[in-house]
Amino acid sequence: MRAKIVEKPTYQMIGPLKRINQKETVLSKTAWDPDFQALKLKYRQRRNDRIQTGNQVENFALRDAAWYLADSLGNQAGFMHGNEGLYSWESLARSEENIDSQVEVQKIEISDPADMSEKIKNAGRFLGADLIGLTELGEFWVYSHSYNRLNGQNDTINISFEDFKFAIVMAIEMDYEKFIKSDVEVSAATGLGYSKMAFVASHLAEYIRNLGYRALPCANDTALSIPLAIDAGLGEQGKHGMLITPDFGPRVRICKVITDLPLKPDKPIDFGVQEYCEKKCNKCVENCPAQAINGKKEVKNGVLKWTAKGERCFSFWCEQGNDCSICIKVCPFNKKSIYKK
Ligand code: SF4
Ligand code: SF4
């Protein structure tokens, strides 16, 4: 089925919608919940065992290199919290020796948001986004609080929804060849996706700032990426709970830039994912080693949707000492893009 543009996204809002505190997400819990702290220790132990006894030094060396930007200036892909490093909400300082330092930014007048939207999409693709779409920023998708795993700070997220009306949502394709190999190679592709996110989101945010507007680059922090990506017309949610795109299936990572730049939002798409997952396929359920996907839709924070049980999923990661993307790997929508040869 070809993707058709629709007026409403294919998830169902049941209500009441509730903003989520980032502290309640699985990876945040590894900093404060004793059960998850124990799992984190197990993960590290198992990972070290695999590197030292499993003759996997080279595989892990490439894996960890791919995660480098995400894990350093990329603030652990926003799993830590937002507004830091490359995901800072203001420009990072340049050296005074930089001869290109801006004198003063001139704010441009925008009389045609549709034209500006095209420029933003072109810039996003130039900077490395494989997919890009625009949406109004649904307040309910923004976390109520950020959470800093290093110091336990759990601050309210105060974004002015009057000013920051839009989100630019971008998907980065993860390497297909790596995704058909071992879990460590899959993780290398995942890490590179996260590292590219930090590059693309921060650079697009800087472009917007150079036009005189505000831009908040985000990874997994600050707002829920999947519903924003659906609203922006990038894809639909599948039974494994992840975004499925027409071009790359679920083999993408998502980042976004929240902005006060006037834009023309895109509309959601429908290419038959709901019916296919409902009636024709159950591969992610059958292949998940943690039984974390049960294939039943449930109401979560006011939205009827498929979700994976994050605790079970993370427990499996800790068993194998590495993350897992089997549900992405086995999904029939995980195909090689016909556009990227
Ligand atoms: S990542 Fe692995 S463990 Fe987690 S839901 Fe997917 S298949 Fe299951
Ligand atoms: S594996 Fe099958 S059921 Fe699961 S998300 Fe993909 S298409 Fe849907």
Ligand 1 site, CB within 6 A: 288-290, 292-293, 308, 313, 316, 324-327
324 alpha-carbon distance from chain centroid: 16
Residue 259, judged by CB atoms within 10 A of its CB (0-12, 13-18, 19+), counts as buried
First to last CA, the chain: 22
CA distance 311 to 317: 10
Which pLDDT does position 119 carry in this prediction? 98
Counting ligands in written order, the one closest to the CA of 236 is 2
Q: Is residue 96 part of a domain?
A: no
271 assigned to some structural domain? yes
Q: Quick check: bond before 16 cis, omega within 30?
A: yes
Determine the average pLDDT of the residues in 49-76.
92
Decide if 339 is inside a domain.
no
Q: Is the pLDDT of residue 340 over 60?
A: no
Residue partners of 19: CB distance under 8 A and separation at least 6:
139, 140, 142, 143, 144, 301
Q: Output 330 or 78, whichever has higher pLDDT.
A: 330
E-strand stretches of 142-235 = 166-173, 215-218
Cα-to-centroid distance, 288 and ligand 1 (Å): 5
List CB contacts of 62: < 8 A, sequence separation 6 or more. Answer: 185, 188
Domains held by the chain: number: 1
275 pLDDT band, cuts 50/70/90, is: very high
The contacts of residue 177 (CB under 8 Å, 6+ apart) are none
In a domain, 325, yes or no: yes
Residue 169 lies in a domain: yes
pLDDT at 312: 97
The pLDDT of residue 339:
54
Give a yes or no: residue 101 inside a domain. no
pLDDT band at 341 (very low <50, low <70, confident <90, very high): very low
Q: Which residue has the higher pLDDT, 91 or 339?
A: 91
- Does the pLDDT value for residue 176 go beyond 50? yes
User: Residue 142: is its pLDDT beyond 80?
Assistant: yes
Report, as an integer, the average pLDDT of 263-292.
97
Q: For the residues 222-239, what does the mean pLDDT come to?
A: 98
Nearest Cα residue to 224 out of 11, 43, 63, 67? 11
C-alpha distances (whole Å) from 236 to each of 10, 11, 67, 82, 268 are 7, 8, 27, 25, 8
Tell whether 192 is covered by a domain.
Answer: yes
- Which pLDDT belongs to residue 335? 85
Give yes or no for residue 86 CB within 6 A of ligand 2.
Answer: no
The pLDDT tens digits for 1-30 are 689 999 999 999 998 888 999 999 999 999
323, 174 Cβ separation under 8 angstroms = no
Give the per-residue pLDDT at 46: 96
Ligand 2 pocket, mutate which of 252, 331, 334, 335 (most atoms under 8 A from CB): 331
The H or E element spanning position 128 is none
Range of the domain at 240: 4-89+111-330
- Take atom 1 of ligand 2 and give the residue whose Cα is closest: 331
Can you tell me the mean pLDDT for 307-326? 96
Query: How far does the centroid of ligand 2 lie from the alpha carbon of residue 272, in Å?
Result: 12
Q: How confident is the model at residue 75 (pLDDT cuts 50, 70, 90)?
A: confident
Domain for residue 166, yes or no? Answer: yes
pLDDT band at 102; cut points 50, 70, 90: low
**Statement: residue 338 has pLDDT above 70:** no
